[in-house]
Chain A
């Protein structure tokens, strides 16, 4: 237990180490791999340590922490006679998020060392911007190919350092503005890291797609923030969530389709989340984002950044929940995304893409839970999901790494190391990866009683059922069934049975830097569920106090009620989890070729043709608009036309001025004229310049006498 002032100070310091590491790596150590990753991991470790001090040794130990959270702020922007204040806020919600962020970030930093083949030789013909191709080494007289180290190793650690800074900033922020700053930093890092292997056209396109798609959401979110500020003149959470401000927000009409101000702001902020958390209809970027290195997929596109989207709506829940219309939209989008993405995941063959769609689907679960006022369930699922999805992604990265080893061994580069149909039987080759992946997969499926995923999903079901949201309940139940199904399909195709390719036969377990994070995360994937077991649960209920409910509930002014226990949702989660797992296993245990897979339906395989639809509706018209209108009409026609008009027109005016003003008036009249006049006068006056001094003197004398006479007669002297 640490002192409160210390906790405040530490909270300010949490985001600092990663950004320092980013700067140091970028400026100084980028040529040294060891220093770079030591700096990055050291920074992650420091952030982890401060986070643990603030959460485990402070926040989690205080009763009714929600009533007096850690908050501290400073004057930042002068605004006329007042100040815009920024600061840090750790309440139960951000404490929990901080907890899992710190753990996953640290785990993934360590994992990246192994993933990028630290300690391996330089590649034979590796290029910057391309994944390493392997290096030939000679051992005992014969050559063989081993994985080679990533050419841009330091750069990777710099980027994930900056990313971690963005995430920590977002979590500890006490206002929407700095939250948005962190949000955008992560957006940038996401772009940089998806396009990390920028020499691959697919990675480039994916990076641009991710950036552009999330930008759509971010613009709306910024609008929401601006609107919120114009209504309340504050962006600080604690000020907004006071009764009077919320009352104002709920009663002021927005003038848009009958929404209240709160409803419209909530909707705008939610659109930001739809972009960031890849919800329908802005989900298209996340599967493509799998082009990035796997640690990036795990950290940004599963555990932290996409969770940050959900975190933002959970954070703004008191505001969003004011308008029931917005809540309905939220619930609908969430539930629809959950089932929609799950159906696509069923037909994907790329091991990472299955997980990507699964992530979209699970984020949909959280959004749906929030939409039906199941606040705690949403938080619970957010945390458990972050752990087990990071675990699954890292596991898949480990599998791919093992497969790449096999590919290097056989030298057949036509085999896609990410295609699950090229795998099989990896259970014996990669035991640690298998068992941890199994734990992650079961947690994702909601394997009853043991895994964390079961408890969080069960809570969502219980809330949906208990509050009578039948549509959401049934949709999510089907989605959960599909989740279990595709997870088992993945596990069966990847790990069970016999190796289907030579490459799979030669797959190898990955180094400890990769397996250790897997083991740590799998502990959380199981153990984290136990903090939130409902008290009225048969047999297990009450054995461990439902700490999570108590703790998270404290974030809200009104403590949410515990839903009454009911057998229906419990049995539903049992049935869908076990049923899905069993079906997945029995359907796929004998499938060896994509052709034998009955679910390779074109419609699902091509993700409902969403990419094609968007291409037709948005991308092609945009290109057409750019080409035909902007380039050919506006640029070539109007702008160039005007410019081409300017040239000759200026020429004409210039010639006119020259011919009718410059030449006749300036040159002829003033210039030559003055010279001529001077010449003429000179010629005339020359006559009196006789050169005879006596004549001059005579003239002087005459003038002198004349002046004398004048002066004398007029009495002037």
Chain B
């Protein structure tokens, strides 16, 4: 059986890639993609800990499912906003959306 640390290293790598995407991309859709990656790395963590911990306690699994649901909702709202912004401002570059700035 693959040791737990492999999963954790994988999860950390995935999280870092997601974080890098969020921090470095200028396109709002790409930022959303980065967030999705970070959420999924968390799910990997949750599933791994469940499998290597008390299998009868399904809290880890339940939590992962809740994260899926939240991620789906967040992505749908986020994409809707991006599309709405694109229709009005004709851009999806996050830096250009500065109307609330002083």
The interface of chain A, by Cβ under 8 A from chain B, is 686, 689-694, 697-698, 701
| Cα of A701 to Cα of B94 in the assembled complex, Å | 19
Interface hits, B35-76 → A, CB 8 Å: none
Contact of B23 among A686, A690, A691, A694 (CB under 8 A): A694
Interface hits, B71-102 → A, CB 8 Å: 94-95, 98, 100-102
Secondary structure at chain B's binding surface: helix, strand, loop or mixed?
helix
A692 contact set on B, CB distance < 8 A: 94-95
Is the CB–CB distance between A698 and B102 below 8 Å?
Answer: no
B73–chain A nearest beta-carbon distance, Å: 20
Is the CB–CB distance between A686 and B94 below 8 Å?
Answer: no
* Selected A-B contacts with CB under 8 Å, 10 pairs: A686-B102, A690-B101, A691-B98, A692-B94, A692-B95, A694-B22, A694-B31, A697-B19, A698-B23, A701-B23
B19 contact set on A, CB distance < 8 A: 697, 701
A704–chain B nearest beta-carbon distance, Å: 11
Secondary structure at chain A's binding surface: helix, strand, loop or mixed?
helix
A691 contact set on B, CB distance < 8 A: 98, 100-102
A693 contact set on B, CB distance < 8 A: 94
Which residue of B has the minimal Cβ distance to A690? B101
| Cα of A155 to Cα of B87 in the assembled complex, Å | 99
A319–chain B nearest beta-carbon distance, Å: 101
B43–chain A nearest beta-carbon distance, Å: 21
| Cα of A697 to Cα of B19 in the assembled complex, Å | 9
B22 contact set on A, CB distance < 8 A: 694, 697
8 A-B pairs besides A691-B98, A692-B95, A701-B19 with CB distance below 8 A are: A689-B102, A691-B100, A691-B101, A692-B94, A694-B22, A694-B24, A697-B19, A698-B23
Interface hits, B5-44 → A, CB 8 Å: 19, 22-24, 31
B24 contact set on A, CB distance < 8 A: 694
| Cα of A701 to Cα of B31 in the assembled complex, Å | 16
A295–chain B nearest beta-carbon distance, Å: 99
| Cα of A697 to Cα of B38 in the assembled complex, Å | 14
Is the CB–CB distance between B98 and A694 below 8 Å?
Answer: no
B29–chain A nearest beta-carbon distance, Å: 14
| Cα of A698 to Cα of B22 in the assembled complex, Å | 10
A698 contact set on B, CB distance < 8 A: 23
| Cα of A334 to Cα of B16 in the assembled complex, Å | 126
| Cα of A701 to Cα of B100 in the assembled complex, Å | 24
| Cα of A580 to Cα of B24 in the assembled complex, Å | 142
| Cα of A691 to Cα of B102 in the assembled complex, Å | 9
B68–chain A nearest beta-carbon distance, Å: 23
B42–chain A nearest beta-carbon distance, Å: 16
A516–chain B nearest beta-carbon distance, Å: 109
| Cα of A215 to Cα of B97 in the assembled complex, Å | 98
| Cα of A692 to Cα of B101 in the assembled complex, Å | 9
B30–chain A nearest beta-carbon distance, Å: 11
Is the CB–CB distance between B94 and A697 below 8 Å?
Answer: no
| Cα of A189 to Cα of B24 in the assembled complex, Å | 107
B13–chain A nearest beta-carbon distance, Å: 16
B95 contact set on A, CB distance < 8 A: 692
A101–chain B nearest beta-carbon distance, Å: 101
- Given A701-B19, A701-B23, do A694 and B94 touch, yes or no (CB 8 Å)? yes
A694 contact set on B, CB distance < 8 A: 22-24, 31, 94
B22–chain A nearest beta-carbon distance, Å: 7
| Cα of A692 to Cα of B98 in the assembled complex, Å | 8
Which residue of A has the minimal Cβ distance to B26? A694
B97–chain A nearest beta-carbon distance, Å: 9
